Structure 1
């Protein structure tokens, strides 16, 4: 058995769940780890994520297996934490738009052993409360009892506590961070202020900024990153416990009694002003609140507390990018849409690869090399 190299010096770039998870696994294994982030911890995509823990629908077998491993790690964490406020497994409920059907999706989930129950509208209350059955497609809905949700900022805070206890160092709000390359190999990272952090390995986990950072190094990754919009309501009285994914809105409870909301149509209405800022129209916000109220039992009045808007990382083929960058030895990358579900497992597997030099079979399909092309 190969044991981790405890003397390794590693710099991790990115203060979201993927960067913090990887840094924590490395530090706990004995590595000397420095975590660098451009702004505040959790201020990027991890701070505006629906954070639905799932492997619902159809995807490649390898991606499904990785997501299921990710959910397994959350269940293990939940057992260790005991009663906690930021991680729940209360299931997920979804239904198709009028005129469409999720029957084939249900059959697929059943065929691969994914826990999936078909419910008629009048059966929903018995399985998962807080939903207005009249809002559900007449054909019924899919309830996935094994799904859950996590509040990523709270999870990240928990992980950072362990990271610091293991000797890790955090430098936040350091501005833009770039990878240093010496003689063709990643040798550390440099902050906007010119501070250099030397390392034996560098992990690039900067969410939607990964493609640009790689491009500067002469490596291209296909990218379909859109703009995300996540609304948070004021606290509201509701019996909802599951994550809802409906044709017009997704809804998730939070630890403090609020709800978070997102949707595809509302994201499309965000105006990118081209200077790192965005315009969100009042009608979009009001519309999303109304859509959420319409699917909740009793149609509670939902009031906006705040919203987050910004790029949501999605690789060009929709599947994760994880592991070494072949063109630059010593550089490892994490770039994925499913950061919440995969946060713990990807951090664990990439840390193991860095410290042991042994490639993980679970990550074989998700290498950058599947579509990276040198830019020069």
Structure 2
């Protein structure tokens, strides 16, 4: 490719953590691959991303090939954000401040389930180990004895962490805009995809809500559940449904009560970079999503359970600030949907539930595929084509 060749125009739709990572990775290749990248975000930071527990992990219920992808993404997160040490703060300025690599301690399942998890993941090479209650207390000294596993031990996953994902999305986009000349269009939604007449049904751009057309050689749609409707309008079916999940958010706590993530028999909880407690729950049905009045009792209950993890003086510091209900994209078979779309050249999609964990590797692999045509072999398992085979 010569220097006089016009750059290929690529549009990324979506400002959450997945779209931001894809846009950052593409923008970082603009000079070497002669591409021009535009990101279009209704909201920088996304709409689903701020409602995520944002746990970075390759934890339970993984088929091996999916575990491998998640593990690769943990490694990629460490390239982007550093490894938690002062000597390695990563390649994206500011990310290291909002990523916590203090690990995860869990006893949220019966001992036999935890034993099976340990056996399987240790055989895969994951750094997980059994720790006794005395070791849990040493790692998390503010937990009260009554909250610890009654059978006397839990599991420590040392490689895991958490990230303030909505802030990370903003950091990635701002860095790409400043250092890699990403063109960022924020505060506007994409209303539709443009499909050329003839030319094999190629996607050639997008139309935003104000009716402005943006032409492109390739469009990457990473807009969460919005991906489903955008693709449906061009006769592409994405088998994904929304699944509500509630998070309780405490007011900032001046004291660092938790070092890492704790998955107890009660709440699943972590303390954010700004000191707030984030407590998660899933729901069958959408009763908690229908109105603030319906969700508030769930959130208050989660905060009360979080208080029970700590001594009275510390528990008194934890107060409910608000709660959020995020509608998580849930693919039909539970696995990510990534890559090109048959019958729609010029279109790539990225939609999944474990978006925060996978954002780093998905951004890297899809940027490589879209920019150069080099498709990582791991992506085939996540192709939309798998649903056509069933």
Structure 1 and Structure 2 fold alike (TM over 0.5): yes
The farther-off stretch of 309-318 and 333-342 is 309-318
Where does structure 2 lack aligned partners over 5 or more consecutive residues?
83-87
1:90-115: CA deviation from partner (whole Å, max 9, x where unpaired):
00011135687421112112111111
8 Å Cα contact 1:221/1:371 also seen in 2: no
Compared with structure 1, are the counterparts of its residues 207 and 133 closer, same or farther at alpha carbon in structure 2 (3 Å cutoff)? farther
Where does structure 1 lack aligned partners over 5 or more consecutive residues?
none
Alignment of 1:336-375 (within 5 A): 336-372=352-388
Alignment of 1:162-201 (within 5 A): 162-165=175-178, 166-183=180-197, 184-201=201-218
Number of residues of Structure 1 aligned to a counterpart in Structure 2: 364
Task: Using structure 1 for the length normalisation, give the TM-score.
Answer: 0.90
In structure 2, the residue corresponding to 1:260 is in which secondary structure? Answer: strand
Aligned to 1:252, which of 256, 263, 270? 270
1:180-226: CA deviation from partner (whole Å, max 9, x where unpaired):
11130010011111101100000010012222222222122222420
8 Å Cα contact 1:269/1:280 also seen in 2: no
1:242-268: CA deviation from partner (whole Å, max 9, x where unpaired):
112233321112111111111125x75
Aligned to 2:61, which of 33, 47, 58? 58
Compared with structure 1, are the counterparts of its residues 287 and 116 closer, same or farther at alpha carbon in structure 2 (3 Å cutoff)? same
Counterpart residue number, 1:211:
228
1:6-44: CA deviation from partner (whole Å, max 9, x where unpaired):
812011110101111111111111121111123x21241
Counterpart residue number, 2:157:
144
CA drift at 1:65: 1.0
Counterpart residue number, 1:157:
170
Compared with structure 1, are the counterparts of its residues 297 and 115 closer, same or farther at alpha carbon in structure 2 (3 Å cutoff)? farther
Compared with structure 1, are the counterparts of its residues 93 and 331 closer, same or farther at alpha carbon in structure 2 (3 Å cutoff)? same
Compared with structure 1, are the counterparts of its residues 14 and 279 closer, same or farther at alpha carbon in structure 2 (3 Å cutoff)? farther
Aligned to 1:300, which of 290, 310, 315? 315
CA drift at 1:239: 2.8
Aligned to 2:348, which of 332, 339, 344? 332
8 Å Cα contact 1:41/1:172 also seen in 2: yes
Q: CA RMSD in A?
A: 2.3
Aligned to 1:41, which of 41, 44, 55? 44
Partner Cα separation in structure 2 for residue 53 and residue 160 of structure 1: 20
CA drift at 1:291: 1.5
8 Å Cα contact 2:228/2:237 also seen in 1: yes
8 Å Cα contact 1:248/1:263 also seen in 2: no
